Amino acid sequence: MAAKKKVINLAMVGCGGMAGAHLNGYQELLQRGEKRFRIVAAVDAALDRARGFAERIEGFAGWPVNTYASVEQLLNSETDLDGADICSPHGLHHVLACELLAGGVNVLVEKPMAINLPQCDDMVEAADKNGVKLMILSLIHI
């Protein structure tokens, strides 16, 4: 008998402009039958934006989504979080990624990775130190 595959629990961190494009992609994956992930949390300093994202996810996915105003709240509350998709303003990528990586969470961050090379180095070091993955998303539109 085949082992049941683990469902990957994700958080959306930053619920502004680019996050909407990411959410559209996740919605399309679910509509096409992909069931190996769940978005379980939405995080934004503007909590009303996080709540709006949570409502949208609940509408197309059918499961509850928790909302938080900070990554600290997320890490203190979500005990089974596997990954986070960071779509915050560029200047926050480094801070949010390092906090999540230190918390043992795999991170996907929208480009640019950070705003300078030392911040990029910090992010790579945090991933290595904590045994988690750091992935940078860079779409090329043709």
For residue 18, the model assigns a pLDDT of 87
CA 128, 131, 135, 136 torsion-angle sign:
negative
Torsion sign over Cα 133, 140, 8, 1? negative
Sheet containing strand 37-43, edge to edge, reads 66-68, 37-43, 8-13, 83-86, 106-110, 134-137
Contact 53, 15 (CB under 8 A): yes
Q: What is the pLDDT of residue 2?
A: 58
> From CA 122, how far away is CA 9, in angstroms rounded?
25
Angle at the Cα of 84 from the Cα atoms of 79 and 85, rounded to 5 degrees: 160
* pLDDT in single tens digits along all 142 residues of the chain: 556 678 999 999 999 988 999 999 999 999 999 999 999 999 999 999 999 999 999 999 999 999 999 999 999 999 999 999 999 999 999 999 999 999 999 999 989 999 999 999 999 999 999 999 999 988 765 5
